A and B are shown apart, each in its own frame.
Chain A
Amino acid sequence: MSFTVISLYVLATLDAMFSGVCAASGRDARINKRSYYLKAMIHGIGWGQVACVVGLLILAAALWISEDPQLAMEQMVAVGDRMVLVFGVYAAIILAFFAVRAIPSVDIRSMTSTVAFGPLTLIRPAVIVCGIGWGLAIGPGPPIIVAGILICVLMAPFRVWLNRWFDIKQWVAGPAEPAP
């Protein structure tokens, strides 16, 4: 069980970190902005922890209303194992392209954006739906199905919500004055 929980937590945190970068991109026109993206990652991870806590509360509620909590827990782990498989493959593909991007070639780096990161970003919500759907396909009890759907509704549009939050916080532009 601990492997499943830790794997899902790590995957969710990674997703939240990259979501932070995506939500911050295109808002700061400076050339040198490593610290800006670092801050964006931290914000993404922070909101990712909030999402994880909300997810845990949903699962706890599902356990609480289940007629057989022991069985429900076993079903949750089985669903989680299948989710780890789908999300793990997706994460591995992304990380593999980051490794390719490390090659110091303009063409290779721009191609990773064109053929990898762009389309992979596009399919992210679908991957979340598929991962949770694949997990729920084992046929768990209704509370777990409802919990899975709620977590899907929480995580699939996570980037959209993060974008909205960055909009509200007006994450924009570089420093108005030269750095000292």
Chain B
Amino acid sequence: MDVAVENRKRPRPELLEISDLIVDFDPQTMARRPVVQAELVERFRAVGDPRAARIVAGMPSSKGVLDPDAVDRLLIRVHCEMQRLSEEFQHGQRVSELLHAMLAALRQCGVPTPYRIVDIGCGTGYVIRWLAARGEFGSDVELIGVDYNEALVEEAQRLSTAERLECRFEVVNAFAMDQPATVYLSTGVLHHIRGGGLAEFLREHDQDGTQAFVHYDFQPSPLARPGAWAFHYIRMREPLSCHDGVISARRAHTATTLVDAARQSSFACGMYGTHFWKLPIPRVFHTLMGMRPEVIDAFRLTLGRRSGRLGTLA
């Protein structure tokens, strides 16, 4: 009995993703900072994650510092693998359907064009490139992907140029751009932001001209951990992808945490698409949404038959 009580009191070990820690940037200058391999290995061991420690210990390094070029190549491969999951889950189409309804609502409410859709933490830009290739948005919609990682942004731009897509990618803080986004978007980013940083991140969306945000992230559920393990085991080749994929699902924020943090901004916030067809079957991703209150009624109309997926926006 005492042991059980003691176990309950013991703090849960910190869950760390390798991809968060093998790159380090100065948030002001965006300059790359060196990552000391031994320190990182020790950090993973300290949180009881010997597998991650082994993965990091096996990465190429020079004078004890992780080789930034090798890390970049690895991250590009990992993002390519992650894109496979997005493709299987029809993520591009899913985002496109929601954005079409959102932009139609903005048009109905007389919000002036052009509309700028900014994908935060875009990685190799799958969502923005998909929207550019298949989204059929008008010429008054700008599609922009931003990320801190220059190598990923360069890869996104290379892929976009190769397919002649009308979109662009920048290494920039999404909230420090010359012109703010009309709609901020992200996929699988929110769980990387921990503690008070989440509310701060969402408050930063409060910019002149910003009408809405849509953040897709893993939905915690009893099926999430085994599901993430199975899918990453089957589909991924890089050990880093398998490791971080499962940890991502375990670190996912609950809807309550997300909505509580989002409601500290001036947007009306809520969740969208948490379950399949009103059945008790959770979706892999749930969606945190925020909108200017004056647009909500129009948005419910433009959503059409999908309006049932929209929770209370307040």
Q: Do A and B come from one complex?
A: yes
Asked, given contacts A110-B89, A174-B162, A176-B162, whether A28 binds B80 with beta carbons under 8 Å apart, the answer is: yes
With both chains docked as a complex, state the minimum distance between the C-beta of A136 and any C-beta of chain B, in angstroms.
27
With A and B bound together, what is the CA distance between A118 and B230 in angstroms? 8
With A and B bound together, what is the CA distance between A119 and B231 in angstroms? 8
Quick check: B237 and A175 within 8 Å, CB to CB?
no
With A and B bound together, what is the CA distance between A176 and B155 in angstroms? 10
With A and B bound together, what is the CA distance between A107 and B282 in angstroms? 12
With A and B bound together, what is the CA distance between A142 and B83 in angstroms? 47
With both chains docked as a complex, state the minimum distance between the C-beta of A85 and any C-beta of chain B, in angstroms.
25
Contact of A110 among B90, B133, B158, B162 (CB under 8 A): B90
Q: Which residue of chain A has the shortest Cβ distance to B309 in the bound complex?
A: A107
Q: Which residue of chain A has the shortest Cβ distance to B164 in the bound complex?
A: A178
Quick check: B163 and A31 within 8 Å, CB to CB?
yes
By DSSP majority rule, is chain B's interface helix, strand, loop, or mixed?
Answer: helix
With A and B bound together, what is the CA distance between A141 and B296 in angstroms? 73
Residues of B within 8 A of A (CB): 79-81, 83-84, 88-90, 92-94, 97, 124, 126, 129-130, 133-134, 155, 158-159, 161-165, 227, 230-231, 233-237, 276-277, 284
Quick check: A114 and B227 within 8 Å, CB to CB?
yes
Quick check: B164 and A26 within 8 Å, CB to CB?
no
Residues in A neighbouring B155, C-beta threshold 8 A: 29
Quick check: B230 and A122 within 8 Å, CB to CB?
yes
With both chains docked as a complex, state the minimum distance between the C-beta of A111 and any C-beta of chain B, in angstroms.
7
With both chains docked as a complex, state the minimum distance between the C-beta of B280 and any C-beta of chain A, in angstroms.
14
With A and B bound together, what is the CA distance between A111 and B88 in angstroms? 9
Quick check: A121 and B234 within 8 Å, CB to CB?
yes
Residues of A within 8 A of B (CB): 25-32, 106-107, 109-111, 113-114, 117-119, 121-122, 163, 167, 172-179
With both chains docked as a complex, state the minimum distance between the C-beta of B17 and any C-beta of chain A, in angstroms.
19
Residues in A neighbouring B94, C-beta threshold 8 A: 106, 110
Q: Which residue of chain B has the shortest Cβ distance to A120 in the bound complex?
A: B234
Asked, given contacts A107-B276, A109-B90, A114-B227, whether A30 binds B162 with beta carbons under 8 Å apart, the answer is: yes
Quick check: B129 and A31 within 8 Å, CB to CB?
yes
Asked, given contacts A176-B158, A178-B162, whether A118 binds B80 with beta carbons under 8 Å apart, the answer is: no
Contact of B234 among A107, A118, A176 (CB under 8 A): A118
Quick check: B237 and A26 within 8 Å, CB to CB?
yes
With A and B bound together, what is the CA distance between A24 and B233 in angstroms? 16
Interface centre among B97, B130, B233, B237 (most CB of A within 10 A): B237
With both chains docked as a complex, state the minimum distance between the C-beta of A97 and any C-beta of chain B, in angstroms.
12
Q: Which residue of chain A has the shortest Cβ distance to B273 in the bound complex?
A: A107
Quick check: A111 and B80 within 8 Å, CB to CB?
no
Asked, given contacts A32-B133, A118-B230, whether A174 binds B163 with beta carbons under 8 Å apart, the answer is: yes
Residues in A neighbouring B129, C-beta threshold 8 A: 31
Asked, given contacts A29-B83, A113-B89, whether A122 binds B163 with beta carbons under 8 Å apart, the answer is: no
With A and B bound together, what is the CA distance between A27 and B84 in angstroms? 8
Quick check: A29 and B163 within 8 Å, CB to CB?
no
With A and B bound together, what is the CA distance between A90 and B120 in angstroms? 42
12 extra interface residue pairs, beta carbon distance < 8 Å, beyond A31-B126, A119-B230, A167-B237: A30-B159, A30-B163, A31-B165, A106-B94, A106-B97, A109-B90, A110-B94, A110-B284, A113-B88, A122-B234, A174-B162, A176-B162
Asked, given contacts A174-B163, A179-B164, whether A26 binds B97 with beta carbons under 8 Å apart, the answer is: no
Quick check: B276 and A32 within 8 Å, CB to CB?
no
Asked, given contacts A26-B84, A110-B89, whether A32 binds B163 with beta carbons under 8 Å apart, the answer is: yes
With both chains docked as a complex, state the minimum distance between the C-beta of A116 and any C-beta of chain B, in angstroms.
11
